[in-house]
Structure 1
Amino acid sequence: MTTIDKNQVGEMVQHQSAEMTAWLNSKALPIWATVGADPGKGECYESIDLATQKPLFVTRRARVVPRQIYSFLEGAKLGWTGQAEDLASGLYKWFLSAYRSDEGYFISSVDVENQVTDQSFDLYNQAFALFAFAQIAGNMPESRQDAEEHASNLLNYLIENYRNPQGGFREANPDKLPLCSNPHMHMFEACLAWEAISADPAWQELSDEIAELALNHYIDPVTGGLREFFELDWSPFKGDNGRVMESGHQFEWAWLLARWGRSRCDAGALIAARRLYDIAWTYGIDETRSVTFMALNDDFSVRDPIARLWGQTEWLKAAIALAEISQGPERDAYLSDILDAANAMRVFFASAPDGLWRDKMSPDGDFEDEPAPASSLYHIVCAISELNRFAAGR
């Protein structure tokens, strides 16, 4: 890991923030707002081909639309001068018309003609719908009431049809296994976004419930690592898949629990966040490639050495969150990690055309030859937004 004189770190963090924000505003958001979206139709695409720098006209997953709504609106806060509200408004209307089922949940995908290709319920997609509605409500006053109504309707639908009596939500109705921590992580993120703009106690109550699930069930009480898959009672899923601990999710939960723990003055959550970070940093980063890789087993041995771009963004966010609650040498270590994580992100940008990125790095350091996925923009924007905020507040 990087060793830097602590007197230089603050200046370097600000330099990284300035460079990455400039890249986002001048390179990434412009291409995703034009090539990666069709503003005239109010639609967006799944990916952009690196060779032709054209969109691929393939099935479009529901989770991508809320992510792009967030990315454009948050980009405007970071100084992007594109038509953020127009883009977000168009995507919002399209999302409601193309993805909302008659039952009240949001389906999984449509094709380029907006014909349904996957009608299924996925809790992950519902979490991102709630997240998108929070972005609309918080940033577009003329659409706030409408977004609040859609969010309330969806939350009520989930409670009525997918509530798990053991806490959180089921994956299907009738039940199917395993239950997953990942969609709850994004539900947690959506609730925290709603908390920031709404006085409705439902959001704080659900935030607290998911935090308690994480602290009492998702996180192994012996090792402090967070699992991915569970039985209906939130005990670890039986078999080998019950051992999965994704490095990027250790970081992402550390970021969320640090935020929640600060807001609730909950020391246990802050301790858990630090432990999650320590596990991912110690066991989930390949020092040869200087990147965090995909997954560990529950004994912290390497399970999947592929490194993905999104994992680097979560490393950066977690390092920032823990730097903010630390002092002295511990804070200095997190500050150094901020630089390492930012550099890891930039490795995925370096060999791609301006504003695009590579997604997967093999164990030997080569990148898979594949299109740039639109879904990564949300991760990138959020990480740069956190870095920008932290650098500005030093």
Structure 2
Amino acid sequence: MSSDIKNQTQRLVQWFERDALPLWSVRGIHPALGASFERLRADGEVDTGANVRVRVQARQAFFFAAAKSLGWCDSGADIACGLLGFVESNAAHPSAGGGFTHLLSPEFEVIDSKQDLYDHAFFLLAYAWLYRVSGERAALDKAEALVLHLDNCFGAEYGGWAEGDYDHTVRRQNPHMHLFEACMALYEASGEAPWLARAGELFSLFESRFFCPKQGVLFEFFNADWTLADGATGQVVEPGHMMEWVWLLDWYARLTGQSVARYTGVLYRRALDIGLKADSGLLYDSVTPEGNVLQHTKRCWGLTELIKASLVMAREGEPDAEARAASAVDTLFRYYLCGTTPGSYVDQRGENDEVVAAEAPASTLYHLIVLAQELMRYCDGVSDRAEKVSA
């Protein structure tokens, strides 16, 4: 393990401890409601005019619970409980018999009561981590009740779940990817086999539907029967999601012993080939399987997933993957963790890598803290292996 990856890991840890957590635990939380604001403006102040996505509450609950588990935020479990308690009291669906609404006004009142599958994946993830840091069985009970609600209301033919309780023209792989993540997190937290079985069903969807072995890419949009969506919509590829699946598949392999190398290497190399802007090291938001750029923008989260995938490939012996990860952390600071307010960040860069979205969505902290977890796990794992070899 090089000193570069250790130094960049410590750099990110210090950014969380010194800057991000002090900022977001105070300025990012409504002092009376205990709910998360949607985002900070470029000047670091709360954007009090922004509508608030309900899923942001779940993602922030995960963030603070994870920070608590790392010893970075003593109040993390309490903040997470407050966030979830606010949603359960103020944004539960009024008539569906379970689950949550979708969107709140700047005054934190429900203005869109639809139920969306993607939103609910993050509540399952939040419950998993709340259980990890609190040990309270109620968090697992709520997760079980929520997934039963999804089964009853949104279970769909051909596997997986419908998009929600609204009309939709395509099905997305993205909510299922995060449900895969949530089920693995719930299994790790609880040790209860049904969660791993659900993860296995979602892995099967990846193998049979989402991944295209002929082109070596992950597709995003599908018809109701999981055939590829028609026309240009069906050809959308998000390199960041390909990288994210590398990390998730590696996690699944560690839990089950199932080999996934036939997928991870292909996804990683193809994402680099078709999705990387070589001069800056940023990932395009979307491309075609041939590498034609559909969106010249580059979100912050895509780079965090590139780094996580590079750590997976470094453990698998991929040449230069560790160096690429270390360099990409430096790139993360150069292009995104460079807001004028310490602990804030830039969300999106444009065609020429200029800032096009300087606001800092609270939801991005989910990606950033998972990255920190994975960097620390990588460094600890390399150190442990070195000690065993020298013993």
Contact 2:13-2:372 at 8 Å conserved across structures: yes
- Listed as ranges, the matches of 1:184-223 within 5 Å are 184-223=176-215
Which residue of structure 1 lines up, in the alignment, with residue 13 of structure 2? Answer: 21
The Cα shift of 1:147 comes to 1.3
Q: State whether residues 164 and 170 of structure 1, in contact with CA within 8 Å, keep that contact through their aligned partners in structure 2.
A: yes
Contact 1:33 1:39 in 2 (8 A): no
Q: Which stretch has the larger CA shift, 169-178 or 126-135?
A: 169-178
Are the equivalent residues in 2 in contact too, given 1:171–1:177 (CA < 8 A)? Answer: no
Distance in 2 of aligned mates of 1:15 and 1:174:
47
Moved more, 82-91 or 228-237: 82-91
The residue correspondences of 1:308-327 to structure 2 (distance < 5 A) are 308-324=299-315, 326-327=316-317
Amino acid at match of 2:175: P
Which residue is 1:108 aligned to? 102
Structure 1 residue 43 displacement after superposition: 1.1
Shift of 1:356: 0.5
Uncovered stretches (5+) of structure 2, i.e. residues with no partner = 383-391
Among 352, 362, 377, the residue aligned to 1:364: 352
1:349-392 Cα deviation digits (max 9, x unpaired): 12432100001111112102532111111111110111122112
Q: Tell me whether 1:345 sits opposite 2:332 in the alignment.
A: yes
CA distance in 2, matches of 1:52, 1:39: 17
Pairing 1:355–2:343 present: yes
How far is the alpha carbon of 1:120 from its aligned partner? 0.7
Residue in 2 that maps onto 1:91: 83
Q: Does 2:134 match 1:140?
A: yes
Q: Which amino acid aligns with 1:316?
A: I
Instruction: Compare 167-176 and 250-259 and name the one that shifted more.
Output: 167-176
- TM-superposition CA deviations, 1:172-210 (whole Å, max 9, x none): 457632010000011011001001022333211110011
Q: Within 1, Cα distance between the matches of 2:131 and 2:73? A: 20
Contact 1:259 1:321 in 2 (8 A): no
Looking at structure 1, the residues matched to 347 and 357 of structure 2 have their Cα atoms a distance apart, in angstroms, of: 9
Mapped to 2, the partners of 1:361 and 1:155 lie a distance apart of: 36
Q: Does 1:334 find its partner at 2:321?
A: yes
Contact 2:118–2:163 (CA under 8 A) maintained in structure 1: no
SS in 2 for 1:196: helix
Residues 39 and 90, structure 1, Cα contact 8 Å, conserved in 2: no
Residue 82 of structure 1: how far off its partner (Å): 4.5
The normalised TM-score by structure 2 is 0.93
Q: Is the 8 A contact 1:98 1:110 kept in 2?
A: no
Q: Give the Cα–Cα distance (whole angstroms) in 1 for the partners of residues 194 and 161 of structure 2.
A: 15
Task: Give 1:125's match in structure 2, choosing from 119, 124, 140.
Answer: 119
Instruction: Say which is worse superposed, 167-176 or 345-354, in terms of deviation.
Output: 167-176
In the alignment, the residues of structure 2 paired with residue 173 and residue 37 of structure 1 have an alpha-carbon distance, to the nearest angstrom, of 29
Q: Distance in 1 between matches of 2:253 and 2:357?
A: 40
Call closer, same or farther: CA 1:11–1:43 in 2, change over 3 Å: same
Q: Is the alpha carbon distance of 1:185 and 1:352 closer, same or farther for their aligned partners in structure 2, counting shifts above 3 Å?
A: farther
Q: Does 1:291 align with 2:278?
A: no
Corresponding residue SS for 2:320 = helix
Contact kept, 8 Å, 2:53 with 2:104, in 1: the verdict is yes
DSSP-derived class of the 2:225 partner: coil
Find out whether 1:376 has 2:364 as its counterpart.
yes
Structure 2: how far apart are the matches of 1:393 and 1:177?
44
TM-score by length of 1: 0.92
Q: What SS does the aligned partner of 2:13 have?
A: helix
Q: Is the 8 A contact 1:310 1:380 kept in 2?
A: yes
Number of equivalent positions: 379
> Hey, what does 1:3 align to over in structure 2?
none
Conserved 8 A contact 1:36-1:55: no
Q: After superposition, what is the alpha-carbon deviation per residue over 1:124-158, rounded to whole angstroms, capped at 9, x for unaligned? A: 011111111111111112xx222112111111111
Q: From 242, 261, 272, give the equivalent of 1:281.
A: 272
Written as runs of structure 1 = structure 2, the 5 A alignment for 1:227-306 is 227-267=219-259, 269-306=260-297
Amino acid of the structure 2 residue aligned with 1:342: V
In 1: Cα distance, 2:370 partner to 2:70 partner = 11
Moved more, 112-121 or 11-20: 112-121
Q: Which residue of structure 2 lines up, in the alignment, with residue 163 of structure 1?
A: 155
1:67 CA drift (Å):
1.1
Q: Quote the offset at 1:92 in angstroms.
A: 1.7
Compared CA separation, residues 250 and 352, structure 1 to 2 (3 A): farther
Q: Counterpart of 2:387?
A: none
Aligned residue type for 1:202: P
The SS at the match of 2:291 is: coil
Deviates more, 1:106-115 or 1:184-193: 106-115
